[in-house]
Structure 1
Amino acid sequence: MNTKLTLTVEKNVIDKAKRYAKNTGRSLSELVENYLEALTQENNDVVPSPKLQKIIGAVTLPIDFDEKKELRIYFENKHL
């Protein structure tokens, strides 16, 4: 059952959100509902943002990739 909700939000935020909704083919109500649903999920798992979801899996790393080693090398080179 849908229920009406009244919110007070800065006009410039509403305008940007409406443009975003239109550009993504969704309604502002749908965006707000999806956000509130993700925010209140019972399992409290981290939900990646839509932008992050688009790039998940875009990079395939070698099986023997050592993240800690690569980060150490990166920071050592950065601070030389």
Structure 2
Amino acid sequence: MGTLSGEFLPAQVIYTGKTSACHPQYKFPKSWDINHSVNHWANADTQMDYVERIILPYINKVKRRLGLPKNQSSTSVFM
């Protein structure tokens, strides 16, 4: 996913399975969101995980960098 400022956010990889036991032993970058779903498709749960693990921390980092208050309104303008 890319932002309008040209930054790319870490990827989400979704494996088929019901628990993290289905994840491979491969060492992905720590910033990536490695997840799973019954059919390996994105769903509401995997999307919410991505928002919580990747998007919200990115928004908070940008607010700190710009000196904005934590309650500053943020728009979801991602490509």
TM-score (norm 2): 0.26
Q: Name the structure, 1 or 2, with higher relative contact order (CA <8 Å, separation 6+).
A: 2
User: TM-score w.r.t. structure 1 length?
Assistant: 0.26
Q: Which structure features the higher share of strand residues?
A: 2
From the two aligned structures, give the one with the greater helix fraction: 1
